[in-house]
Structure 1
Amino acid sequence: MELIETPNALGEKNKHVQKALSFGKTKVVNIQLQAGEKIAEHDSAADVIIIVRSGKVSFDVEGQTVEVSPENILHMDPKEKHSLTAIEPSDLLVLQITS
């Protein structure tokens, strides 16, 4: 068992990115963004799962826009180009799973 700390850093500064865990073919990254902060378009060689723990984030994936919140989960296939903008102060987990 391993308990991983992902403290709330939004009050201290703007964008916060922390590699939380890596095991097997999976990487887990914690991203915390203030409202309006963006991450430019990019892609990943892995399957990507986005879990928003708090807030709301707008993702533009291959030209389609979706809002991700604690009520849903986003899955993206490898190489899907995407960018994101925090609609509200947001805390999300990014799981990158390589096949």
Structure 2
Amino acid sequence: MQTISLDTVIPQQDKKITSIYNTEARQIVHLQLSATQEIPTHKSPKQVFIIVKSGKVVFTVSDQEITLSPNEVLVMEPDEYHSLKALEDTSILVIKS
């Protein structure tokens, strides 16, 4: 068994990516963004689950925008192009499988 604490604070204008679990079949990443930070368009060969822990973020997926808030989940299929922009200081879990 393993436990991992995700309670950290990010300095203003810093992006923090922490790998929590990584195997060939599955990846779990904790991503923290400061307000207004963006991640440009990219895709993943795996199905992606986005779980917002805190803050607010806008995802653009296949030219559609969706705003996510805490406790909301976004599911993307493999090879879907997407980008994101933090509207507030944001903490999300990214699960690829």
Q: Which consecutive unaligned segments of at least 5 residues does structure 1 have?
A: none
Deviation at 1:47, TM superposition (A): 0.2
- 1:33-48 alignment, distance < 5 Å: 33-48=33-48
Question: Partner letter of residue 31 of structure 1?
Answer: L
Question: Partner letter of residue 43 of structure 1?
Answer: K
Determine the C-alpha separation between the residues in 1 that align with 2:71 and 2:9: 22
Deviation at 1:8, TM superposition (A): 1.4
Deviation at 1:6, TM superposition (A): 2.6
Which residue is equivalent to 1:94?
A: 94
Determine the C-alpha separation between the residues in 1 that align with 2:71 and 2:18: 23
- 1:36-75 alignment, distance < 5 Å: 36-75=36-75
Tell me if the contact between 2:53 and 2:71 (Cα under 8 Å) persists in the aligned partners: no
Runs of 4+ in structure 1 displaced over 4 angstroms? Answer: none
Q: Which consecutive unaligned segments of at least 5 residues does structure 2 have?
A: none
Determine the C-alpha separation between the residues in 1 that align with 2:24 and 2:43: 21
- TM-score (normalizing by structure 1): 0.90
Determine the C-alpha separation between the residues in 2 that align with 1:89 and 1:77: 26
- TM-score (normalizing by structure 2): 0.92
Determine the C-alpha separation between the residues in 1 that align with 2:71 and 2:33: 18
- Cα RMSD of the aligned pairs, angstroms, is 1.5
